[in-house]
Amino acid sequence: MSKVKKAEGKLGVMVVGLGAVTTTFMTGVLMARKGLAKPVGAMTQYDKVRVGKGADKKYLKYDEIVSMASLDDIVFGAWDVYPENAYESAINCEVLKEKDINPVKDELEKIVPMKAAFDKNFAKRLEGNNVKECKDRWDMTEQLREDIRNFKKENGCDRIVVLWAASTEVYVPVNEKVHYTLADLEAAMKADDKENIAPSMCYAYAALAEGAPFIMGAPNTTVDIPAMWEMAEKTKMPIAGKDFKTGQTLVKSGFAPIIGTRCLGLAGWFSTNILGNRDGLVLDEPANFRTKEVSKLSTLESILVPEEQPDLYTDYYHKVRINYYPPRNDNKEGWDNIDIFGWMGYPMQIKIDFLCRDSILAAPLCLDLVLLSDLAARAGRWGTQRFLSFFLKSPMHDYTKNEVPVNHLFQQYAMLKNAIREMGGYEADQELD
């Protein structure tokens, strides 16, 4: 039998960043609640998992195995550096057509962003003025904690999940003197260490301190540090990250296994993107792109491993580029050139051109990550939720113990299904081959 606490009452979903991704997410949920749209792409709404074997085998949706929050339970809140409400932002972002936004205009207009905890040094291209005045990083964290408490009380929420869907911050390297213990992290916050403590870390700390799971949807270092793992253990809260796996990396984590399974060789993989939304603007800054580059480059290395197949995967060349190109807005294009070799070393090429819609792919991921993080919290699971790596570009892992992340899409899917089975009181019976 499932030992998961029932999903009773309202679930507050507090998002950092009220831009293209989150307004698309919110609009879709609100439209689906009215029966005016379908939540296509959301695993929690469509996927079925096998439970049992032989005569006992059956395929059930997630909410038939474990208690899940329904779309009707969700209450949205947000922080953003721009003051526009969710309706104004959804219109301005031009992801969705007005006819698909207007039926829920009233609900969206009520979602007015709180002032953001922001430091322009971490996102130089953003010019918003809806920003908190903070004495130091500790004060920034305390103000965010108060926001969470007030939102929960004012909206009668039983539980809160905090989701980062804001811009990519500049790259923050892991610093053992600051990021390895919770005591050092807190001391750095109080000392206003602006170099090592990014605003996103203040959001994560605040969420965990207030008993809310935290999800990092960008490639920021934020919760991918031992100090935050310690905080998650102390508060018994789940954390997940990092970086939504939407377009090109989804293709890469699904296509690289084809090369590996077929025992073909890889000489090089060149990936480039063109993107014109606010995310693309921020990533046009080299320091911010570095954060994304580290995330996107990490995918192949754990799927096509040189040590396991030296004849096939030694010295392949892997390059990733993102180019800001305003005419495309949210309709990004991910182009991959893959140089492979086969029998007797003869070369071949594969070209993949994915003309996708960034926010249309990210919105269902937001829903799944929110609902599954809430589920994990109710199931008494805390710390890094590795079963959520299916949804993330650069899955968190304990690099202090040389743990290798699982990036292989189909192995990640097995991890996801096993976790659902386990939380539902069934045997986690799928091998990660």
What integer pLDDT is reported at residue 256 of this predicted model? 95
Per-residue pLDDT reduced to its tens digit, 29-45: 999 999 999 999 999 99
Domain segments of the chain as ranges: 10-244+359-423, 248-355
Class for domain 248-355, per CATH? Answer: alpha beta
Q: What percent of the chain has pLDDT over 70?
A: 97
What integer pLDDT is reported at residue 113 of this predicted model? 98
What whole-number distance in Å separates Cα of residue 341 and Cα of residue 245?
Answer: 27
What integer pLDDT is reported at residue 2 of this predicted model? 78
What integer pLDDT is reported at residue 292 of this predicted model? 61
Average pLDDT in the chain: 94
| pLDDT at residue 284 is higher than 80 | no
Number of H helices, E strands in the chain: 16, 13
Q: Are 299 and 248 in contact, with CB atoms under 8 Å apart? A: no
pLDDT tier at 283, thresholds 50, 70, 90:
low
Per-residue pLDDT reduced to its tens digit, 168-221: 899 999 999 999 999 999 999 999 999 999 999 999 999 999 999 999 999 999
Domains 10-244+359-423 and 248-355 share a fold: no
What integer pLDDT is reported at residue 49 of this predicted model? 97
Q: How much is the pTM?
A: 0.93
Three-class SS of residue 210?
coil
- Which tokens hold the place of 106? 């009233």
Class for domain 10-244+359-423, per CATH? Answer: alpha beta
Residue with the bigger pLDDT between 132 and 125: it is: 132
What integer pLDDT is reported at residue 296 of this predicted model? 58
pLDDT tier at 297, thresholds 50, 70, 90:
low
What integer pLDDT is reported at residue 293 of this predicted model? 66
Q: What percent of the chain has pLDDT over 90?
A: 83
CA distances from 281 to 288, 289, 319 (A): 10, 10, 20
Q: Angle at CA 95, nearest 5°, toward 92 and 97?
A: 85
What whole-number distance in Å separates Cα of residue 120 and Cα of residue 118?
Answer: 6
What integer pLDDT is reported at residue 248 of this predicted model? 85
Residues 317-326, mean pLDDT to the nearest whole number: 90
What integer pLDDT is reported at residue 186 of this predicted model? 98
Residue 364's H or E segment, with its range, is helix 358-378
Cis peptide before 242 (omega within 30 of 0): yes
What integer pLDDT is reported at residue 105 of this predicted model? 98
